[in-house]
Structure 1
Amino acid sequence: MAALADSTSFRLRLVNNNSLKVVALGDSLVYGFGDHEGGGWVERLRRQWMMPPNPGHVLYNLGVRGDRTQQVSQRLEDEFRNRGELRNRVPDLIILSVGVNDSARLARANGRNYTDFANFEREIDALLARAQQLCPVLFVGMVPVNEEKMPFLDCFYYNLADQYRYKEATKQACQAREIPYLDIFDLWMGRGSQWMRSRLTEDGLHPNILGYQSLLEDVLNWEAMQQLMSAKIVTI
Structure 2
Amino acid sequence: MACEWTKLWSVRSAWLCLVAGLAVTAVFTFYYASIARINEQAVQPVGNAAAGSVVVSQFAVVVLATVAVTSEYATGTVRASLLWVPRRHRVQAAKALVTGVVAFLGGAGFAVVGTVVAWMAFDGRASFAAGTTVGQILAIGGYQALVAVLTVGVAFASRHPAGALSILVALLWALPSVLPGLGGDALAAVNDALPYGAGDHFTRVGGHAPYSSATAVLIVVGWTAVAHVAGLYVLRRRDA
Query: Which structure has the greater CA radius of gyration?
Result: 2
Fold in common (TM above 0.5) = no
Which protein is richer in helix relative to its size? 2
TM-score, with length taken from structure 1: 0.32
- Whichever structure has more strand as a proportion of its residues is 1
Give TM-score scaled by structure 2 length: 0.31
